[in-house]
Amino acid sequence: MLAEGMPPLADGDAPRRLADMPSMFRAAQLVGEAMAHAREDVREALEAEKVSAGISMLVGGRIGDGPLKLYMLYAEGNFIECQQDQPFLQIGETKYGKPILDRVLTWETPIDEAVKVGLISFDSTIRSNLAVGRPIDLIVIPSDRTDTVVKRRIATDDPYFNDLSARWSMLLNESRATIPAPPFMMGL
């Protein structure tokens, strides 16, 4: 739908295509509109089957010389932008890994540290939810255009992720052991 183009806004205009958007903001608007149209197209069928049509999506990147942007789009077509007061956006299963992100990530977190923390968050979610697992597809787009874009598929045999998971478990247990027992539990 986005490659072929959304309907023009006025008669005689060309279809609105993702490739023609002048900014990431306009791209997010177009993707949101397409999501809302797709949701409406299947609404009756989903309601008949008593199935939810809730979806969300991350849209990010840069267009031309514009800045790097990231948006989280909702089924209704509206969206929010990743900014300093919200240094990350997350879709999917959020209840297990999000506390790690909330405690650690800031707008100033270096990208390599942010990736490490993100992988720890994934590890926590994988440990707590059988419906989540590897492979994890990772892409890191640096804000500096001269830096290399990193693309990696983290499979079940990934040595770095397996080491990170083992170390995280070990360090959590070591940290837990250093915290005193609740004083009200003494003598039980």
Q: Which residues of the chain have pLDDT under 70?
A: 53
DSSP letter at 169? Answer: H
Residue ending a domain, among 82, 112, 140, is 82
Same domain, 59 and 33: yes
Same domain, 150 and 103: yes
- The verdict on residue 6 lying in a domain is yes
Helix, strand and coil in the chain, % to nearest 5: 40, 15, 45
Residue ending a domain, among 43, 62, 82, is 82
- What is the number of domains present in the chain? 2
- The verdict on residue 171 lying in a domain is yes
Would you say the pTM of this structure is higher than 0.95? no
Angle between helical axes of 111-128 and 159-178 (0-180°, round to 10): 80
Q: Are 39 and 82 spatial neighbours (Cβ–Cβ below 8 Å)?
A: no
Same domain, 73 and 97: no
Q: Give the domain range for residue 100.
A: 92-178
Same domain, 1 and 65: yes
- The verdict on residue 183 lying in a domain is no
- The verdict on residue 188 lying in a domain is no
Q: Are 177 and 132 spatial neighbours (Cβ–Cβ below 8 Å)?
A: no
- The DSSP line for 5-74 is -BPPSSTTPPPB-GGG-SSHHHHHHHHHHHHHHHHHHHHHHHHHTT-----EEEEEE--TTPPPEEEEEE
Same domain, 75 and 125: no
pLDDT of residue 53: 66
Same domain, 72 and 113: no
- The verdict on residue 185 lying in a domain is no
CA 39 to CA 157: how far, in whole Å?
37
- The verdict on residue 186 lying in a domain is no
Residue ending a domain, among 60, 82, 104, is 82
- The verdict on residue 36 lying in a domain is yes
β-bridge mates for residue 151, sequence order: 139
Task: Compute CA distances 38 → 50, 77, 125, 159, whole Å.
Answer: 17, 10, 30, 40
The model's pLDDT over 121-156, given as tens digits with 9 standing for 90+, comes to: 999 999 999 999 999 999 999 989 999 999 999 999
Same domain, 106 and 134: yes
- The verdict on residue 87 lying in a domain is no
> To which H or E segment does residue 159 belong?
helix 159-178
Same domain, 52 and 98: no
Whether omega before 67 lies within 30 degrees of 0, making that bond cis, reads no
